[in-house]
Structure 1
Amino acid sequence: MECVHLTSGQCHSCPLMPTPYDLQLAQRQSAVEKILADIPHASAMQWLLPAASSPSHYRTKAKFAIGGTTEHPTLGITGPAPTYEGVDLPHCIAHTDTIARSIEPLKEFIRSTGIEPYDITKRTGELKQILVTQGSDEALMIRFVLRSKRELARLRSRLPLLHSLIPTLQVVTVNILPIHAALVEGDEEIVISEQTTLPMFVGDVELHLGPRSFSQTNTGVASELYRQVAQWARSSGATSLWDLYCGVGGFALHAALGGIERVSGVEISPEAIASAQRTAADAGVSDRVTFMAADAAQWAFDQGIDATPEAIVVNPPRRGIGEAFAEWINDSHARYVIYSSCNPKSLARDLKRMPNYAPLQARLFDMFPHTEHMECAVLLEKLP
């Protein structure tokens, strides 16, 4: 497999692309097994076959750094110092066809509106990034990251043009990033479209994504992850489950649809929780699943050890759940723990603090082909 942007030296985001995908997958499987080889009771752990990705057109999210000029904008990445010139990546084979088809219309929209791309060296211009997410049936959410609100009225007024250029467009927002920093987005989000959330089928549930809600980049592999966790939860026989760091509720909703009677989902983002509650209502499981906006670890501490359910699912950020929470879970009454991780090293560190649990099964989920990034999930059972 070849990418013109990699072979030309323009982009190095997929450095392993010259390696056959099957070999890549085997190498990542070997690497994650090695990382988890010395967790407590690892010898009894069964590795399931990895969840493979499509080698191309798998990314349902794109972050386009904007460069160039109003007349000749670039959508891609920021080039190296000292110029930091925009690098145009119109032929990235990681993006879905739907996202790829949006690139030229977005350039036309920039030209038509006259919004000036942000110049990093001069610190002039307004448009810093365009973030694109694909949902169900090729529906798109597009977020314009601006330096200020100066062009907000102009974007609002030209929204009909954007819809005509991209017919599957559903959600449009403006994100304000006023500071000069290597950040993708700022804290203020302004929805300028009538629709505020993007429907996205992941696994067996159609989720509703808000503009700032986290979603996996690789929807196909994420679907396998949700189904795997649901299967583990269902086969455990648990009747109660906590989904901690639940995001928009993917694991919790799959568990409730799978028949688990009492499910609680906890996520710090109120926007994500609102989306999860809407999905629960649409799916008819609001009587079985409750979502709360709170810090997941602190919420668990506040419930107390005696309130722990039969199963706990954790899906933390890269840093993991940390020493205090790992030790709390280790002392809890939960019979099963399912740990979904985007960082096997922090996963191994956390599991070493949970010797009261033995891993039963583990699986690699290959979210990012052509890279060394690894995500995996582990099913653990409390020792007698």
Structure 2
Amino acid sequence: MQCSYFDAAACRSCTLMGQAYTDQLAAKQQHCAHLLAGYPELSWLPAVPSRESGYRNKAKMVVSGTVEEPTLGILDADGHGVDLTSCGITAQELRDTFPSLAAFVTRARLTPYDVPRRRGELKYVLLTASPDGELMLRLVLRSTESVVRIRKHLPWLLDALPRLAVVTVNLQPQHKAVLEGEEEIVLTERATLRMPVGDAVLHLRPQSFFQTNTDIASALYRQGREWVDEADPASVWDLYCGVGGFALHRAGRGRSVTGIEISAEAVASAETSRDEAGLEGLTFLAGDATAFALAAPGPPELVIVNPPRRGVGAQLAAWLETSGVRRVIYSSCNARSLASDLAAMPSLRPTRARVLDMFPQTTHYEVITLLERA
């Protein structure tokens, strides 16, 4: 894949841009295998490739420029806007909205935030697309000053973008590198975006995390489902469950599944999905995964962990090591922290692993491993 922004040095976020995709995928497989080379019994499943372009289901666009001529993209080293509305890794349905969103900025008189001068209102446009083509739009503002105008002109935007299902305002008043604030104002009747993924329909609320690449997320959940079904445990914990992707795929069959997630927004999303599907035996709780495990009277038969880049950490790794749980499915977006966590759990040996290319054109990837107690 070639990118005019990369070639012009306007954006270098995709560090592998221009390299043959087969070489990118092979290098990621080799990198992960090198980090886990201490486990000779580990069997590698074929890596899961992604589409090279148009794979991102979300766009996080910095708004800059002026009311009359806004830019949507990133900031350069001096804090000035760089237009990225033709970014090739962004899904086409997102790129198609950008002209209307720019026009809406002008129509509603939303002053772009000027980072160097610390003036203005509209900081970011956050846009997410579902597999069905529906869209969620979040406007990150410094204050409520322009909310009345947004409401006034929202019918025009909904008419221009009929697939727009959820529109919100997020308030982030601070001048610092924080994407969003705590307060969210929902402007549409619907507050969640339906995300059909694999065997489940997930409901994404505005502040809930979801994987950037829907196709690879589906493959990830499918792999987890296969390993859970193979073990057929009566009880499962899904730690760092997010909006419930793994848990929702493996609930039912008389199985007890508990999902733990620190984000209350994500838990609310997961509960909506569970209730709509009518799944029994599935519980979601908002809380810290490590604290939950340490306070539990005993382990389940199988644990799924899908931690952030830092990994599960020393405390949870130590608990898993001594808990007696027979199997762990570990989904990681950082193979280095995975390797560190595995070293702290010597009794849980990785027996199978698979690299999934969640982020083509970059060095990042997802890897899912099955650990079994020696």
1:11-38 Cα shifts (integer Å, max 9, x gaps): 1111212111011000011011111223
- Deviation of residue 284 (structure 1)? 2.2
- The TM-score normalised by the length of structure 2 is 0.98
Alpha-carbon distance between aligned partners in 1 of 2:194 and 2:62, rounded to the nearest angstrom:
25
Unaligned runs of 5+ in 2: none
Partner of 1:288: 281
Aligned length: 374
- Deviation of residue 7 (structure 1)? 1.1
Match of 2:44 among 22, 32, 47: 47
SS in 2 for 1:213: coil
Asked if residue 155 in structure 1 is aligned to residue 146 in structure 2, the reply is no
Q: Does the Cα contact within 8 Å between 2:131 and 2:214 map onto a contact in 1?
A: no
Partner of 2:21: 21
Asked if residue 300 in structure 1 is aligned to residue 293 in structure 2, the reply is yes
Alpha-carbon distance between aligned partners in 2 of 1:268 and 1:155, rounded to the nearest angstrom:
31
SS in 2 for 1:313: strand
SS in 2 for 1:116: coil
Q: Which amino acid aligns with 1:24?
A: Q
Unaligned runs of 5+ in 1: none
1:332-368 Cα shifts (integer Å, max 9, x gaps): 1211000111111111111101011111100111111
Match of 1:61 among 45, 58, 63: 58
Partner of 2:133: 138
1:70-89 residue pairs with structure 2 within 5 A? 70-81=67-78, 84-89=79-84
Q: Does the Cα contact within 8 Å between 2:132 and 2:196 map onto a contact in 1?
A: no
Partner of 1:207: 202
SS in 1 for 2:268: helix
Alpha-carbon distance between aligned partners in 1 of 2:214 and 2:176, rounded to the nearest angstrom:
29
Partner of 1:120: 115
- The TM-score normalised by the length of structure 1 is 0.96
Partner of 1:311: 302
Question: What's the Cα RMSD here?
Answer: 1.0
Partner of 2:34: 34
Q: Does the Cα contact within 8 Å between 1:244 and 1:315 map onto a contact in 2?
A: yes
Alpha-carbon spacing, 1:53–1:43, altered in 2? closer, same or farther (3 Å): same
Alpha-carbon distance between aligned partners in 1 of 2:68 and 2:48, rounded to the nearest angstrom:
43
Q: Does the Cα contact within 8 Å between 1:141 and 1:170 map onto a contact in 2?
A: yes
Q: Which amino acid aligns with 1:297?
A: T
Alpha-carbon distance between aligned partners in 1 of 2:293 and 2:189, rounded to the nearest angstrom:
37
- Deviation of residue 274 (structure 1)? 1.4
Alpha-carbon distance between aligned partners in 2 of 1:67 and 1:111, rounded to the nearest angstrom:
12
1:102-152 Cα shifts (integer Å, max 9, x gaps): 110100101111111000111111000000001131100000001111111
